[in-house]
Structure 1
Amino acid sequence: MAIDWYEEFVDTDHTPGPDELVALYYFEPAAGISKEEAVGRIASESSTGTWTTLFTMPPRMRDLQAKAFEIEGNYVKIAYPLALWEEGNAPQLLSGIAGNVFGMKALESLRLIDASLPADYLRHFKGPHFGMEGIRDMMKVHGRPLTGAVPKPKVGFTAEEHAEVGYETWMGGFDFVKDDENLTSLSFNRFEDRVRAMTTMRDRAEQETGDVKSAFINITADTETMKKRAEMLADYGWNYAMIDVVVTGTAAVATLRDHCSDLGLAIHAHRAMHAAFDRDEKHGITMQFLAKIMRLIGVAQIHTGTAVGKLVGTKAEATVLADMVREKHTNAVDHMALDQDWGAIKSAFPVSSGGLHPGLVPDVLDIYGSDLVLLVSGGIHGHPKHAGRRHGHHAGN
């Protein structure tokens, strides 16, 4: 009897309407489960279904059922009526299309690849406050990538040492100095001390170069603490805040997007923990979908990998990812992305980082073009000439 119930969620004759949200999954059924039953269970669990057959179902509820409408090998597209999704609520969307479905015994594995969001769903989200052009205007940088570097080692510097390396970085021509993902407010480098020290060095570097200088200072914490840290950054004349967006979650990021916008701060989204979701090619959530959700919520830029550095990711993935955050319309790419019109949602910068050094930069630009934020860190700070140059530089002050 239960099999019949799941089959009600499969309709290969269905054509999604413009007001339906469509999700693309890769799936592998568990032993003894047919593909049809497996996709019916995904559609059921992520919409109105339950584990048992219900004999009385009001007709209006049938209208809310998701429909698996296209099965191609181990890929399935599922259409969802718009009424299933609360307006402007990204966590609720994830609860459906990326929730219980991952724990079902009927599936050996399941991967959410992408979801095409209809115009009526998008209009309840604000997206990025600035857009790429707004960021370029703010930083007075046009026609080239924005650049930044992370003081290395990741943690260990005092606030003053960190700011000292920051000053060197800015004087070396970089636009940004970036905290690492695990540097927040540690006993030897408190957030407040770092902000003050960095502000002094930023003002000096701006005075000496005549260029706008900024930093991605990491405010990651509980939501209320992040708000206070964002306020301190604004008080000290900063225009950015950095958040580890995967670990803090979509709810906190959405709250901080509004708070930061009110303060005139752009959000630099670090993707720490993303690989827990996206590294297994058969299970979890793709990076392009994580990036899409973060653009929807409204970050100014997000890490997308390099395709040539130390972290996993292919050139094709990097291109899809860059399009996902930058383009007004992203085209479907077989088994990697669905068609998406972004409407009034502004663009965000992809951030290329991870094992980059100057020799790899041309390869990165071949993939991304000039609309990106380029982070080169260990590849500079680990250079044998770096220590000598630093001491030499101090002699000139």
Structure 2
Amino acid sequence: YWDPNYVVKETDVLALFRVTPQPGVDPVEASAAVAGESSTATWTVVWTDLLTACDLYRAKAYKVDAVPNTTDQYFAYIAYDIDLFEEGSIANLTASIIGNVFGFKAVKALRLEDMRLPVAYLKTFQGPATGIVVERERMDKFGRPFLGATVKPKLGLSGKNYGRVVYEGLKGGLDFLKDDENINSQPFMRWKERFLYSMEAVNRSIAATGEVKGHYMNVTAATMEDMYERAEFAKQLGTVIIMIDLVIGYTAIQTMAIWARRNDMILHLHRAGNSTYSRQKIHGMNFRVICKWMRMAGVDHIHAGTVVGKLEGDPLMIKGFYDTL
């Protein structure tokens, strides 16, 4: 799986891994092991390899560079043939790229830093249904950034008080308010109550200001059936945007993106849960990869951080995420 003479094809899927080999393991060997485990290899030699075009389907680790200012970390450049992946499936892509390989014995730590997805593969995904221009037209806001905020406290408010916060914020000058990641349908406020009071607040603020306003309705739920029900109800109430959480999973995200496109709805994604694998600098995955996958899945918005506030993020890193988007 190590091929330093490999010539990258335009249709190859490329992955950049940060590899920290176990003590005594050669970085080239570790990189080749990553390429093997994320494509056709297993823990032993099998005769059935003779029945496949292994030279075509095996991933190729074609370059290894030491990470600057480190002593035991290396960048491994790995190429995958496009036919290794099902068209239009984030789930299948991730099953290979970030599947078993992250528990491999040969590496002490492993981080997926970036990917290059070929155009031929990207075209099998629907991508976002709307762009900045479309959203500005719907909101009738031009020449300035949108101004939004999140309802706080995010848990514990009654539906009526929740709606009051939405109204006060929108009437005070915000373009949008939004639900937070973990406000779904709890005993203190069921989802339908929240939707009704929030949309009443939106409509009243529009009447009071003469401007188009909105509220991100979080339709995240336990099952796809529940999410469909909540999204349909939000649509009936007249909202222009709904919201889901990253923790619902790649397949559910793609499914809701298809629904949003069919129903002419803007889709916002809250990145809840991303830091479990993106914050550590030597293991897990860079958030820029999540940005790319979510664009492929069809998400119109994804929160990618800010340089102020309680969460981690320096200006260059955050700007890089938004440049990627």
Displacement of 1:59: 6.1
Matched, 1:225 2:226: yes
Amino acid at match of 1:15: V
Q: Deviations over 1:241-286 (max 9, x none)?
A: 11012x1011001000011222221111101111001011000011
Question: TM-score, with normalisation over the residues of structure 1?
Answer: 0.78
Distance 1:25 1:142 in 2: 40
Amino acid at match of 2:65: E
Q: Which runs of 5+ in 1 are unaligned?
A: 1-8, 326-397
Amino acid at match of 1:148: G
Aligned residues with identical type, % of pairs: 37
* SS across alignment from 1:22: strand
Displacement of 1:228: 0.9
- Summarize the alignment of residues 313-392 of structure 1 with structure 2, pairs less than 5 Å apart: 313-325=313-325
Q: Partner residue of 2:140? A: 140
Matched, 1:41 2:33: yes
Displacement of 1:315: 1.7
Distance 2:154 2:199 in 1: 20
Matched, 1:67 2:60: yes
Amino acid at match of 1:235: Q
Is the 8 Å Cα contact of residues 19 and 107 (structure 2) preserved in structure 1? yes
Distance 2:279 2:202 in 1: 37
Q: Partner residue of 1:114? A: 114
- 1:32 pairs with one of 24, 43, 55: 24
Amino acid at match of 2:22: A
CA RMSD for the aligned pairs? Answer: 1.1
Question: TM-score, with normalisation over the residues of structure 2?
Answer: 0.95
Is the 8 Å Cα contact of residues 157 and 189 (structure 1) preserved in structure 2? yes
Amino acid at match of 1:223: M
* SS across alignment from 2:108: strand
Q: Partner residue of 1:14? A: 6
Displacement of 1:204: 1.1
Distance 1:244 1:59 in 2: 40
Displacement of 1:157: 0.6
Is the 8 Å Cα contact of residues 199 and 215 (structure 2) preserved in structure 1? no
Amino acid at match of 1:80: Y
Is the 8 Å Cα contact of residues 148 and 174 (structure 1) preserved in structure 2? yes
Change (3 A) 1:102 1:228: same
Q: Greater shift after overlay, 174-183 or 145-154?
A: 145-154
Distance 2:155 2:52 in 1: 59
Q: Partner residue of 2:150? A: 150
Distance 1:38 1:204 in 2: 61
| Number of corresponding residues | 316
Displacement of 1:176: 0.8
Displacement of 1:14: 1.3
Displacement of 1:196: 1.0
Is the 8 Å Cα contact of residues 40 and 54 (structure 2) preserved in structure 1? yes
Matched, 1:57 2:50: yes
Change (3 A) 1:162 1:282: same
Is the 8 Å Cα contact of residues 181 and 272 (structure 2) preserved in structure 1? yes
Q: Deviations over 1:318-370 (max 9, x none)?
A: 12100111xxxxxxxxxxxxxxxxxxxxxxxxxxxxxxxxxxxxxxxxxxxxx
Q: Deviations over 1:286-335 (max 9, x none)?
A: 1111111111111111111112322112222112100111xxxxxxxxxx
Q: Partner residue of 1:291? A: 291
Is the 8 Å Cα contact of residues 16 and 113 (structure 2) preserved in structure 1? yes
Q: Deviations over 1:190-239 (max 9, x none)?
A: 11011111121211111111111111111111211111111001000001
Q: Partner residue of 1:190? A: 190
Q: Deviations over 1:15-55 (max 9, x none)?
A: 21101000001010112211111011100011111111345
Q: Which runs of 5+ in 2 are unaligned?
A: 67-73
* SS across alignment from 2:102: helix
Distance 1:139 1:102 in 2: 43
Q: Partner residue of 1:177? A: 177
Amino acid at match of 1:118: P
Q: Deviations over 1:103-129 (max 9, x none)?
A: 111110000111100011001111110
Distance 2:116 2:215 in 1: 33
* SS across alignment from 1:307: coil
* SS across alignment from 2:50: coil
Is the 8 Å Cα contact of residues 28 and 109 (structure 1) preserved in structure 2? yes
Displacement of 1:132: 1.4
Is the 8 Å Cα contact of residues 234 and 264 (structure 1) preserved in structure 2? no
Is the 8 Å Cα contact of residues 150 and 180 (structure 1) preserved in structure 2? yes
